[in-house]
Amino acid sequence: MEAEIAAKIIEEFSRELLKNLKLDVAVVGAGPAGLTAARYLAKEGKKVAVFEKNLWVGGGMWGGGILFPKLVVEREAADLLREVGVKLQGEGSLLTADAVEVVAKCTSSALDAGAKIFVGMEVEDLMVKNSRVCGVVLNWRAVNLARMHVDPIGVEARVVIDATGHEAFLARVLERKLPGVRFPTSTGKIVGEGPMDAEVAEREIVENTREIYPGLVVAGMTAGAVFGSPRMGPVFGGMLLSGKKAAGLALKLLT
């Protein structure tokens, strides 16, 4: 029986990985922006996979604010959670939701729409051809943490969404590896995240969700870090709206 169990795991995961080596969109990071983008793209029939380096999804949603597992969203973003069945509490412009419920339902809705989510897989580089991002370079997170010299593999994608959060990892990869690259920021480079100002940050994170290099769209906290927006703290409406906007931008790039 043990060998049969092993065979089932190997066969099924290999099948899924092979199926996702050529994508319409690769989403990097399974936080609020990445999961939302994946859901909307999959609903439109696009072949989309999310790659998350951790063994869990949800990004910073689990901890709410100072480990109080409640999330705050603005009323204008509330429908994005209602669409997936999240129960919201409160009145006025700010509503709350249970963090575990939000993560669970955002994840399940993306999967139900047809997105594939890979965990424990780290995107360590981008594929760039003819001055355009055309895929991601994957390795196991455990391999990189162990500092083992193991070559990665490439996954083709017509569009890549950088939803890696505060670190803006993929944007920084391009900045480091393409010294002459210019982004559409005030400096032409990654500006870096500013100190907290929730109101400004929530507005700008959506405004700055955009294609910063051919084939690469930034979303969520990545957009804030690239363009120099303030951090917003434990309010999540902007990140949800950013994910939806990123999906819309990716759809336009695919046409």
SS3 for the chain is CHHHHHHHHHHHHHHHHHHCCEEEEEEECCCHHHHHHHHHHHHCCCCEEEEECCCCCCHHHCCCECCECEEEEEHHHHHHHHCCCCCCECCCCEEEEEHHHHHHHHHHHHHHHCCEEEECEEEEEEEEECCEEEEEEEEEHHHHHCCCCCCCEEEEEEEEEECCHHHCHHHHHHHHHCCCCCCCCCCCCCCCCECCCHHHHHHHHHHCCEEEECCEEECCHHHHHHHCCECCCCECHHHHHHHHHHHHHHHHHHC
Which pLDDT value is given to residue 34? Answer: 99
Mean pLDDT over residues 132-142, rounded?
Answer: 98
Mean pLDDT over residues 64-78, rounded?
Answer: 96
Mean pLDDT over residues 47-66, rounded?
Answer: 97
pLDDT bucket at 145, cuts 50 / 70 / 90: very high
Mean pLDDT over residues 149-161, rounded?
Answer: 98
Which pLDDT value is given to residue 201? Answer: 96
Percentage of residues in the chain having pLDDT higher than 70: 100
Residue-wise pLDDT for 76-98, tens only, equals: 999 999 999 999 999 899 999 99
Which pLDDT value is given to residue 135? Answer: 99
Mean pLDDT over residues 126-142, rounded?
Answer: 98
Percentage of residues in the chain having pLDDT higher than 90: 99
Which pLDDT value is given to residue 213? Answer: 98
Which pLDDT value is given to residue 72? Answer: 97
Domains belonging to the chain, first-starting first, are: 22-62+100-254 (3.50.50.60)
Mean pLDDT over residues 44-70, rounded?
Answer: 97
Mean pLDDT over residues 175-204, rounded?
Answer: 96
Mean pLDDT over residues 13-39, rounded?
Answer: 98
Mean pLDDT over residues 43-62, rounded?
Answer: 98
Mean pLDDT over residues 158-168, rounded?
Answer: 98
Q: What is the mean pLDDT of the chain?
A: 97
Which pLDDT value is given to residue 212? Answer: 98
pLDDT bucket at 168, cuts 50 / 70 / 90: very high
Mean pLDDT over residues 165-183, rounded?
Answer: 96
Which pLDDT value is given to residue 124? Answer: 97
Mean pLDDT over residues 112-135, rounded?
Answer: 98
Mean pLDDT over residues 228-250, rounded?
Answer: 97
pLDDT bucket at 203, cuts 50 / 70 / 90: very high
Instruction: Give the Cα-Cα-Cα angle 224, 126, 152 (nearest 5 degrees).
Output: 130
Which pLDDT value is given to residue 139? Answer: 98
